[in-house]
C-alpha cells in the first residue's frame, strides 16, 4: 500500500479530502462515515461477472437507462459515505452529465458481487446503507457454487427479499424486465 494513501487513513475526511486522495489501481477505496476504507481489488472471476452482468443488463434495459460499473455513489452526506457498488443501473441522462460521482437518489439498482474480504460489508453494512439512502433495488450475487442472486426491493425504509435464484430468472429493474443467469456470469 502506498504511503500516499496511508497518509489519509485514520482521520475524518471531507469531500475535498476525498478528491485529493491519490487512487491506486491496486486498491479499491471507499469512504465510510468520513473514514477511508481500503480494500483489495476484486479477482478475475469477480471482474468477469461484473462486466458480463453490466453488459447483459445494458442490452435489456431501454435506452434511457444504463448499467455502469464502479461508479462512486454518495450514500450519505453527513457523515460522508461514498461507496462504489460493483454495478449500478441509473438514467442515461445522469451519466451524460459526466459527473465524478452521483448521489444515491439517482441509483435505481445497486449490485454487489461477494468476494473474500467484502462479504459482511456487502450483506450487512451496504445492505443497511443502501436502504437508508433510498436505493430502490439491491442485488447480492454470490459466485460460490451454486452461484446465486438475491434480489431485494425497498419497502418503506428497509429491504425485503424478492427472491433468491440459482437458475436463469426474469426480474424487474425500474419497471423493465431483464433476464439474468447467475451461473452464467463466470463461465466462458
Three state DSSP letters for 66-121: EEEECCCEEEEECCEEEECCCEEEEEHHHHHCCCCCEEHHHCCEEEEECCCCCHHH
Q: Determine the distance from the C-alpha atom of residue 92 to the mean position of all C-alpha atoms in its chain, rounded to a whole number.
A: 17
pLDDT band for 33, please (50, 70, 90 cuts).
very high
Residue with cell 481500503: 38
Instruction: Judge whether residue 1 has pLDDT over 60.
Output: no
- Over the chain, what is the mean pLDDT? 94
Decide if 122 contacts 153 (C-beta within 8 A).
no
Instruction: Judge whether residue 73 has pLDDT over 90.
Output: yes
pTM above threshold 0.85:
yes
Buried b (16+ CB within 10 A) or exposed e, 79-90: ebbbbbbbbbbb
Write out the three cell numbers for 18. 476525498
- Interval 29-54 mean pLDDT: 92
pLDDT band for 7, please (50, 70, 90 cuts).
confident
According to the model, what pLDDT value does residue 26 have?
A: 80
According to the model, what pLDDT value does residue 2 have?
A: 74
Instruction: Judge whether residue 71 has pLDDT over 80.
Output: yes
According to the model, what pLDDT value does residue 108 have?
A: 98
Question: Which tens digit of pLDDT belongs to each residue from 123-172?
Answer: 999 999 999 999 999 999 999 999 999 999 999 999 999 999 999 999 99
According to the model, what pLDDT value does residue 38 have?
A: 87
DSSP code of 11?
A: S
Amino acid at each position: 500500500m502506498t504511503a500516499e494513501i496511508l497518509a489519509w487513513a485514520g482521520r475524518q475526511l471531507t469531500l475535498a479530502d476525498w478528491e485529493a486522495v491519490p487512487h491506486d489501481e491496486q486498491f479499491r477505496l471507499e469512504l465510510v462515515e468520513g473514514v477511508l476504507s481500503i480494500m483489495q481489488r476484486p479477482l478475475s472471476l469477480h471482474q468477469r461477472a461484473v462486466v458480463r452482468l453490466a453488459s447483459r443488463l445494458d442490452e435489456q434495459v431501454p435506452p434511457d437507462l444504463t448499467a455502469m460499473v464502479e461508479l462512486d455513489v454518495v450514500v450519505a452526506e453527513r457523515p460522508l459515505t461514498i461507496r462504489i457498488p460493483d454495478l449500478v443501473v441509473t438514467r442515461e441522462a445522469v451519466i451524460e452529465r459526466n459527473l465524478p460521482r452521483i448521489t444515491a437518489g439517482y441509483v435505481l439498482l445497486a449490485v454487489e458481487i461477494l468476494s473474500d474480504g467484502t462479504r459482511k460489508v456487502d450483506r450487512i453494512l451496504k445492505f443497511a446503507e443502501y436502504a437508508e439512502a433510498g436505493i430502490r433495488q439491491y442485488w447480492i450475487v454470490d459466485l460460490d457454487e451454486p452461484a446465486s442472486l438475491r434480489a431485494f426491493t425497498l419497502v418503506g425504509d428497509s429491504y425485503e427479499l424478492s427472491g433468491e435464484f440459482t437458475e436463469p430468472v426474469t426480474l424487474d429493474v425500474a419497471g423493465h424486465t431483464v433476464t439474468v443467469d447467475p451461473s452464467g456470469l463466470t463461465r466462458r
